[in-house]
Structure 1
């Protein structure tokens, strides 16, 4: 079964909610969570039980263990861990009621299921009485439920026509969720834990975190979250995640090591480049986050800490590689081998913090000139891609567009968007 980064985030989120347990125990729990996500439930069960023998589960761990036992058709153990989750503070009744992992429990032991769900609904009602914006929390949580329902449905579907239909439904759901999320943030700013609860705030963050096509919106949400940094009304780990997400979307190195490289098979292979990687665990500790060697286990790969010499060597190697690709691109430009120019600049653009703003502007001008000569759309496209990134970084000005003759023939949709916003 394939799984989405959003599901990974749901799994990774419990450090802030429930604290940081013993290191060896946390490693076991992280590995169990990864196996659970892959529906390797027998291995997940074994690892969870080993972890719980060291220290009792927190609410999310108990809930995940219940899911694993439910997949193993062990209704007794599934019920046992659901009761523990509820006793320790699990409050997302809507999630529980729609969770497909518990289909077997619903069908084989309806009496037990009714007892569990009755407790969950009552606990949620009690929580809502303590919140300032309970209906906002409800709406946020429902958006995430709808999102996950469609994505799980797509994973299980085998027919191409139905997959295409579900993809359109997901796209429509994403658009609707984005509009609703923007409306919430425009009206309330960044809702605090006392407003929508920890789960509501976490789910709101998830919706923002995955709005990668709307980077200005992510930046706005990040700026609102940062106002509450260091208080008990914000999730520091979520703040770190979104900060890194924005940095990566601006083609910078990440700072806290929250973002991973995803392979074509849906598996994570390592972390995206990290600025001053030798110091990253210190930064993570300040935010109440686990070291990378433990966090990586949640994604199914091992990580070894590096020292300052190794970190500097990595950054220098990336800088040199980027410079060589730019030099190659410019050499090919001189002999009008434009396709190779495109390929090498495209490679250079994949290095986080590899190209300076000035180098990206020069590339945008160069490709605009190539487009004016060849009228091939791909050159207009890469030119406006560079310009859009500069716009997002707040480097580009209206004067830069207006005063550069090469840009005057660009009528690419993204160029018009940039020009309009700068005006």
Structure 2
């Protein structure tokens, strides 16, 4: 045993968690922070003979077959961003927005969920909507806060809408069917979309100045024919990816490959494909996957050593020891995830907390599929909440200069409230998520 083993698991837990947060304040990437803490505790707690623990955890993580789907979905999203499919979809649907107050904002939300169903990747959606939708809404006289909120909240629907990478990671860590998670997520995703749309319509019908209806000149820019043409490629891609999974034709990994093939075929047909486009997409995929893999490796080692320290039993006993109904215990878990979501990346949160939380959920007699949907909604909240809400930084990178981070965060508050409202509904009415599974 190492020199740190005499500390006891309780004090060791406090030191471990405190070390992670202190090192994060230095600006070090999460992967390096987690990896460094993991190595210190591995050799400090178990001594020099603990090296096989590190190597076995790394090998177990990187050889997981389900991980293969992630680079495919990221590549599909990168190709979509660089092709004109999403841009044509947004422009073509202007005619469907009509003269309804708030119509362009509603259109943006509908385009958001279609884009989410095509790729399941979030950052690119927010950037793309920030380039396409935000300037148009501001030009039409839409309220700035409403426009910003719609772009960030709509762009974050990728955490919920299959093929969500959040759900893939959850299925991998919790050892549950990813296909079942995808089925369970559909109703909550559309419930969240309905709440966003209802909020926009109520606000704009009460005060049409918040979302002025489109003029006849704007309406004349697109015909019904071009609008329906713009839907062909996105709907076909969604059908190929989700249809093959739900129809039992392909696994999630195979469906991801089919999705990439579909986007490539459409980009060739539309004469948008080029070697430069493919190269740029592949580089983006490698960079993103590299981040995910390094965080995953570090978190896998940290969770492994913490469990051997007895940390999982300590946390489980502490949570189950709460003298309250099981639903209150779930709410405590949700609160922990919400707080962590303000400071950590969702990948790190998933890999650090789920190995401890999921066994507790099963022990309490709850469905881990249902908890996966709660986790996905919770991580969607984390995308918007300050101080490190990624959605705000994605939008800031393409927003007009006069829009500050403060403007963005203030604009997101009503949509964060809507996400928490949906989280509570799913918490108290689990059947909304599990009725199709």
Instruction: Give the TM-score category using the shorter length.
Output: under 0.3
Structure 1 or 2: more helix by fraction: 2
- Whichever of the two has the greater Rg, that structure is 1
TM (normalized to structure 1)? 0.26
- The structure whose RCO (Cα within 8 Å, separation 6+) is larger is 2
